[in-house]
Amino acid sequence: MITSLTCNACSAQIPLTGTRIICRVCANYDLCTSCHTLGRFSDSHEVQHETLVLYPPTSISQDPYHVPPAPPPPLPPRSNSSSNNEEISPRQLPPPLSTRILSTTGKLLSSNNTPTKRLTDISDAVFAYLNKTYPTANQHLLNPGHVANFYELMGMPPEGNVFGVCISVMNGLGSSLDNIDPEIAHFYDQLGIEYSLITRASATPGGLPMVMDGMPVLSHRGFRQLLVCEILEDPGRMHSVFGQLVRWAIFDDRGRAFEEVPWGMFPAEPDPAFVVKVTAVAEEFGGRLRALFARLKREREEEDLREHILATQLQQQQMHDQRMAAMQLSIQAQQRGMEAALKAI
């Protein structure tokens, strides 16, 4: 009986009752959560392949995202002609319907462009959903990988959102993700998004941390501010995105399904001043990233050149040592021949 699978990246055993990641492109390709989080995979798998996270089975009572079943229909009223006209006992009444979050009143943003209770509810639900994409990460914070997943859920593939591009380029260059942390922190600063700095885990199990207190992460408050920025920049796009999130059946921590978010809850138009600001921030951020990528690429090429020179020098040294050894053997053979000739005289 099969009780575990093997991670195709690190060869660790993945129990069937644990969380694992499968590739939708590669046949019979499994990753453990550590390799998936750290971006490790074998040569046959490519980073742009679509993957699926398979979670262990969870009982209904333990799953906070479980949709409560619909209550049974109410009991029919008793006929007055019945011989027993007593009222229905409260124990016989069906359970009340769970209160659904109303979506037909109020706005997502207040008059000073801060999130309302409605937006807070949606934000917290999306926050919880994103945390499930990184089951081994801190479940109270969103790291840059979480945010990249958020934009991918918004319909922006990794190559189409700046967070996904950053991670993909770093992986392609073989560079540490610590290199992009200061740029993302600067991006948050420019937009007024609150964040914290934590230590990114080591890329190798049991290894030392990469940079102490370097990775910018968002709390619930910071993620709400990010959503506010997106709404102010393009309310139309965010309206369609929220519709997608509803269709993906995201639920809040009390198990209540979100209803459709009507257009009337969004600003009628983008905020002109904010659009100007975010355009300038995006241009600066893009320039900083291009400079960073160029520097890292140059450093990688220089490192490759140094490794090539060292390898060439090592090869030349080995060839020299082999020639010297051959010459030494030849000299020794000649000496033995001369000694034998002298003895024969």
**Residue 221 in domain:** yes
Of 157 and 162, more confident = 162
Q: Do both 13 and 152 map to the same domain?
A: no
- Summarised one tens digit per residue, pLDDT across range 248-291 is 545 544 444 555 677 888 888 999 999 999 999 989 988 888 88
**Residue 92 in domain:** no
Question: Could you tell me the pTM of the whole model?
Answer: 0.57
**Residue 308 in domain:** no
Number of domains composing the chain: 2
Q: Do both 140 and 264 map to the same domain?
A: yes
**Residue 73 in domain:** no
Q: Do both 29 and 131 map to the same domain?
A: no
Of 319 and 46, more confident = 319
pLDDT at residue 137, as a whole number: 64
Query: For residue 341, is pLDDT > 90?
Result: no
Domain residues for 45?
5-54
- Summarised one tens digit per residue, pLDDT across range 206-248 is 544 455 668 899 999 999 999 999 999 999 888 877 766 655 5
Q: Do both 50 and 121 map to the same domain?
A: no
The candidate with the shortest Cα–Cα distance to 192, out of 123, 273, 118, is 273
Domain harbouring 13, CATH code: 3.30.60
Q: Do both 43 and 162 map to the same domain?
A: no
pLDDT at residue 107, as a whole number: 84
**Residue 251 in domain:** yes
**pLDDT grade, residue 96 (50/70/90)?**
very low
**Per-residue CA distances from 213 to 7, 65, 85, 216, 320 (Å):** 30, 32, 72, 8, 49
**Residue 345 in domain:** no
Contact 87, 75 (CB under 8 A): no
Average pLDDT of the residues in 182-192: 92
pLDDT at residue 297, as a whole number: 86
Q: Do both 43 and 181 map to the same domain?
A: no
Q: Do both 131 and 277 map to the same domain?
A: yes
Q: Do both 158 and 277 map to the same domain?
A: yes
Spell out the SS3 assignment of the chain: CCCEEECCCCCCEEECCCCEEEECCCCCCEECHHHHHHCCCCCCCCCCCCEEEECCCCCCCCCCCCCCCCCCCCCCCCCCCCCCCCCCCHHHCCCCCCCCCCCCCCCCECCCCCECHHHHHHHHHHHHHHHCCCCCCCCCCECHHHHHHHHHHCCCCHHHCHHHHHHHHHHHHCCCHHHCHHHHHHHHHHHCCCCEEECCCCCCCCCCCCCCCCEEEECHHHHHHHHHHHHHHCHHHHHHHHHHHHHCCCECCCCCECCCCCHHHCCCCCCHHHHHHHHHHHHHHHHHHHHHHHHHHHHHHHHHHHHHHHHHHHHHHHHHHHHHHHHHHHHHHHHHHHHHHHHHC
Q: Do both 162 and 294 map to the same domain?
A: yes
Q: Do both 272 and 149 map to the same domain?
A: yes
Q: Do both 39 and 121 map to the same domain?
A: no
Most confident range, picked from 4-13, 109-118, 146-155: 109-118
**Residue 321 in domain:** no
**Residue 285 in domain:** yes
Q: Do both 292 and 169 map to the same domain?
A: yes
Average pLDDT of the residues in 116-136: 79
